[in-house]
Structure 1
Amino acid sequence: MERLSGRIILLWGWRRSLAAFLAGALLVLTQAPYDFFAAGFVSFPVLAWLLDGATAPTSASVLGRLRPAFAVGWWFGFGYFLAGLWWIGSALLVEADSFAWALPFAVLGVPILLAFYYGFATVLARLLWSDGIGRIAALAFGFGVAEWLRIFLFTGFPWNEIGYAAMPVPLLMQSVSVVGLIGMNALAVFVFAMPAMLSSARHRRAGLAVAAILCLLHAGFGLYQLSRPAGDGERRLAVRIVQPSVDMSQKWNPAEEERVFGDLMRLSAEPPAAGHTKPQLILWPETSVPFLFTDRPDALAAIGAMLTDGQMLMAGAVRSEGDGSQRATLYYNSVVAIDAGGEIVDAVDKIHLVPFGEYLPFADVLERIGLKQLVAGPMNFAAGTLRKAIALPGGLLSTPFICYEIIFPDLVAIDVASSDIIVNVTNDAWFGNTPGPYQHFRQAQVRAVETGLPVVRAANTGISGAVDPNGRVIDALAIDARAFIDVDLPVPVRASRQTLPYGAVGLAIVGLFGLIAAASIAIRRIKSN
């Protein structure tokens, strides 16, 4: 191990950059759908050894001294995000004639920008670098801060945060209910990087002992949580999740409206599956309704005729406000609740829109040079201003999150404070059968564990499913299946919810790693004097 670490430390030039890139790309195997978490025990030790050798001449400026550390982190991040997010280019191939030109900008541009977070992480770590366990704590601190910033900076994009690598199965997800994703990010890096200490005989035992203890606590807490019986007063909700599997080339085609709507109605009206009761809630995916309800009041009447007393339909639909003219009308990506009378009784609009997907930033300027919204649909969307819970049959409350809103742990934690169920509607058909839909579903699973609430999720082409409050999948539909599932959803009492402000424990853990790293530097200086 000492010989291997020595070779990696001494790498220089393009070989050093390539090693960092490959270590980052390998780390993607820890994420869904691969879930090979052992790859983290290779990637992060390599990163730590590369940082051991990330030195500059003493005559270099402050920025010059930090440049080698930044380069290592940037190349590591570029490999990680390129290997983990290449599938976003699939969305541009749906209308290849119009958007194929943008493919390299999406596939390469997004990883190039996101890699700056990891460059910042390694610079921060290198500023606190010492030896032994102190440098591992510094690495955990740097990545903990960088991944926290990724949640909200520049509208936020916390996709595939490192912490998910430590949560491939429900047994290993339970710790996130205590430390949050912020804490899990730092702890995962700390444990994954521990094999880097095997190169030092003096610190080897301490590193292995600390990593083993944290792993045992992580798995032991999961076992404890999953073995606990359901709390008193747990309620049940009969839910039908509909997955229409509409091809994106047909979704906004007026000639396909009747067929698409007819498939949704047919699947919704089927008799209950064996062993299930009539669904109280029927859930359709994001923008599943292929027209505006204001243009088709007959569709609302048909839905009302299909539903019976005690049933409600929640559907992803485009909602409009205005007089119908192009400039005076606002369109919203919404979830609407429809009762048995065929009336829209409530609606929630998407607040966190996807730049260039659902709206075009600086539209007046960019449209003049020929740029337009890339993938989401035939109109720009306006952002909603308020997320609220929608009342369901049986007196339960559900909070809807549309598409990638579910990946923001802070957003979900705050907005479900008075809710009983998390509803997620999405349309991942843009990305086909790639890792993207699996990663998206995994993040919805983790939101269930964080909040202690069940999640029901309808996706146009999958993955649709229901997740219990411990992250266990009750039932799910495969990608591209055109079908429905009936689920008897367990709903816990609200009193079981944690009340700490989101991120408080996680940020404390990140700060603790920073203190350990700083203390290691101080101790080394004292010994050297």
Structure 2
Amino acid sequence: MRTLFQPFMEKRFLRLFFIGIIAGALSVFAFAPFSFWPAIATSIAGFSWLLSQSKSHREAAWFGFSIGLGYFGAGVSWIFVSIANYGQVGLALSLFITFAFITVLSTFNALAGYLCSRLFLFTPTLSKSFIISLTFLFTEYLRSHLFTGFPWLLAGYSMEKSPLFELSPIGGIWLLTFACLLSFSVPISLFLAKKDEWKKEMISLLAVILLWGTGVFLSINNIQWVIEKDTIKTTLVQGNLKQNEKWLVEQASKSLSYYQSATMDHLDSDLVIWPETAITYLYHQVENHLKPFQHVLMESNTTLITGIPYYNQENERYHNSIWAMGEGFGLYFKQRLVPFGEYVPFANYVGKLLDLFGMPMSTFSAGERNQPVLQAREWGVAAFICYEIVYPELVRSLVKDSDFLITVSNDGWFGDSFGPVQHLQIAQFRAKETGRYVVRSTNTGISAIIDHNGHITAQAPQFIRTTLTAPIKTTMGTTPYVQYGNLVVITLILLMVLLQGLSFLQKTKQ
């Protein structure tokens, strides 16, 4: 342990470690609500430069960790809002849990630093910028998949306002992340490169030029990957219930009455969407009660889609679900649950010890894979609940059978923090990747409609009880990303490995 923390005894190391924290923290300005994409350079270029200053593999890992502390400390600070306001654990423990979470995320950056330092020595055929980008991409992929994953603040999400955003339908968020990492590590690597390293770095530079050039070309020519079909008049109902009141027994009837009343005012809409668990009664408790309301919806040719908790009496499991009724049908059970919010990990061993929120939601079970899409009249609807929209592979798996996407959420947990706006930004990428409209209905906001190009066409203000009515369009066809997944980014990586390997062989023969 003493050896692990030994670098902290040196002033030089502490100075560089602090620089890493600042460089990582400044990257928060690259994401929503700021969306100043060049700011992502501070963490990526800072990481590249700090690696050049490290004297050992251990130092490289610590410098990567420092970038992560700043990056996630600033970027996911909204976690603290949720735990402090609703976690029932007090201020001190809320700070500790938040710091522990940020520390865990930062270990992936530490792993990237360590692997880079090792690979610099053992892979002389590859440029340093390529090693940095590929290694970081690998650890980001790990972070997004291990233990249900946390695919938040991927570097590619900072590219929404840049030409690289146009690459989303081709290679998805992983192509954008790789392109972003390569773009901001190449300048530092070129500046620090020795004479015999220039040729390899130039291959990385050419890849960057190709990626940005393709993005500019697609942007200028307004290339469309799908064809617009039907127009659907859609209404989102935003109840704006306070999180600490949402699950109160006395609130359930009042809440349901409001949503029904707001819907009755918009029966001229083809589709009405209520947020995640807008109905706090269980499905079997209200199914019969809502049959007269369903009849009214069918008479007006209106589909209602709402979030509702579901209890399966056969296996005694609860599900966070979405229900289509009226002139539509289907139930969807959430597949990706939020640890501690919707289920308690290792609950059989720790009981309620780790149940931070003490809510009915904390006993949900995950739904099966390969669930069919919902039906809204003749249209197929791929539905996702809250956090699920951040999983590109999950969204991609349901797109081919859908005409548009919906995501229902309750971001009331995160108050007036970066969380809801970052969540909305991620949904924009799912729309761009898949060539489908994304309709986002939330309890406290931000409710919005996103077109198939990833642009927000209508948006409701936060923390207001309101409705939002706007048209959406169905689309036909699939994007290259939906068709081929990550094949594009994998092919690009293999091609760069081949070209740099050939460059190295040519150099050894001279």
User: Shorter-chain TM-score: what band?
Assistant: 0.7 to 0.9
Letter in 1 for 2:222: Q
User: How far apart are the structure 2 equivalents of 1:246 and 1:81?
Assistant: 29
Per-residue CA deviation, residues 340-360 of structure 1 (Å, 9 max, x unaligned), is: 6xxx94211001111111011
Q: What TM-score do the two structures reach when normalised by structure 2?
A: 0.88
8 A Cα contact 2:275 2:408, kept in partner: yes
User: How far apart are the structure 1 equivalents of 2:287 and 2:41?
Assistant: 58
Instruction: Find 2:257's aligned residue among 238, 254, 262.
Output: 262
Range with bigger deviation, 70-79 or 299-308: 299-308
Aligned to 1:501: 484
Aligned to 2:281: 291
Letter in 2 for 1:265: Q
Q: Are 2:182 and 1:190 aligned? A: yes
User: How far apart are the structure 1 equivalents of 2:152 and 2:502?
Assistant: 32
**SS class of match (1:295):** helix
Aligned to 1:317: 308
- Pair 132,385 (structure 1): closer, same or farther in 2 beyond 3 Å: closer
User: How far apart are the structure 2 equivalents of 1:482 and 1:174?
Assistant: 35
**SS class of match (2:166):** coil
Aligned to 2:75: 84
**SS class of match (1:234):** strand
Q: Are 2:374 and 1:390 aligned? A: yes
Aligned to 1:275: none
Per-residue CA deviation, residues 157-187 of structure 1 (Å, 9 max, x unaligned), is: 1111011112236x64221111221121111
Q: Are 2:331 and 1:347 aligned? A: yes
- Pair 475,98 (structure 1): closer, same or farther in 2 beyond 3 Å: same
User: How far apart are the structure 2 equivalents of 1:22 and 1:521?
Assistant: 36
Matches for 1:90-239 after TM superposition, within 5 Å: 90-95=81-86, 97-98=88-89, 100=91, 102-129=93-120, 134-168=127-161, 172-196=164-188, 197-198=190-191, 211=208, 214-225=211-222, 228=224, 231=227, 234-239=229-234
Matches for 1:364-403 after TM superposition, within 5 Å: 364-367=348-351, 370-374=353-357, 377=360, 379-386=362-369, 387-393=371-377, 395-403=378-386
Instruction: Find 1:282's aligned residue among 244, 256, 272.
Output: 272
**SS class of match (1:294):** helix
**SS class of match (1:164):** helix
8 A Cα contact 2:21 2:69, kept in partner: yes
8 A Cα contact 2:26 2:71, kept in partner: yes
Matches for 1:367-446 after TM superposition, within 5 Å: 367=351, 370-374=353-357, 377=360, 379-386=362-369, 387-393=371-377, 395-446=378-429
Instruction: Find 1:335's aligned residue among 316, 322, 327.
Output: 322
CA shift for structure 1 position 44: 2.2
Per-residue CA deviation, residues 324-373 of structure 1 (Å, 9 max, x unaligned), is: xxxx7321100011116xxx9421100111111101111122126x3325
- Pair 414,121 (structure 1): closer, same or farther in 2 beyond 3 Å: same
8 A Cα contact 1:457 1:464, kept in partner: yes
- Pair 302,479 (structure 1): closer, same or farther in 2 beyond 3 Å: farther
CA shift for structure 1 position 445: 0.7
CA shift for structure 1 position 318: 0.4
8 A Cα contact 1:245 1:482, kept in partner: yes
Aligned to 2:29: 29
8 A Cα contact 2:277 2:320, kept in partner: yes
User: How far apart are the structure 2 equivalents of 1:51 and 1:494?
Assistant: 44
**SS class of match (1:357):** coil
User: How far apart are the structure 1 equivalents of 2:489 and 2:206?
Assistant: 22
- Pair 403,520 (structure 1): closer, same or farther in 2 beyond 3 Å: farther
Letter in 2 for 1:154: F
Letter in 2 for 1:106: I
**SS class of match (1:463):** coil
Range with bigger deviation, 185-194 or 115-124: 115-124
Aligned to 1:357: 341
Per-residue CA deviation, residues 256-299 of structure 1 (Å, 9 max, x unaligned), is: 22321222122222247xxxxx2111111111112224233564
CA shift for structure 1 position 34: 1.2
8 A Cα contact 2:20 2:46, kept in partner: yes
Letter in 2 for 1:21: I
- Pair 513,483 (structure 1): closer, same or farther in 2 beyond 3 Å: farther
Letter in 2 for 1:244: G
- Pair 391,497 (structure 1): closer, same or farther in 2 beyond 3 Å: farther
User: How far apart are the structure 2 equivalents of 1:106 and 1:184?
Assistant: 31
CA shift for structure 1 position 129: 2.7
CA shift for structure 1 position 150: 2.4
**SS class of match (1:173):** helix
Aligned to 2:49: 49
Structure 1's unaligned 5+ residue stretches are 1-9, 57-65, 273-277
Aligned to 1:4: none
Per-residue CA deviation, residues 231-280 of structure 1 (Å, 9 max, x unaligned), is: 3x6222221111111110110111222321222122222247xxxxx211
User: How far apart are the structure 2 equivalents of 1:444 and 1:192?
Assistant: 25
User: How far apart are the structure 2 equivalents of 1:522 and 1:356?
Assistant: 52
Range with bigger deviation, 152-161 or 96-105: 96-105
CA shift for structure 1 position 16: 1.7
**SS class of match (1:129):** helix
Instruction: Find 1:481's aligned residue among 449, 455, 464.
Output: 464
- Pair 254,413 (structure 1): closer, same or farther in 2 beyond 3 Å: same
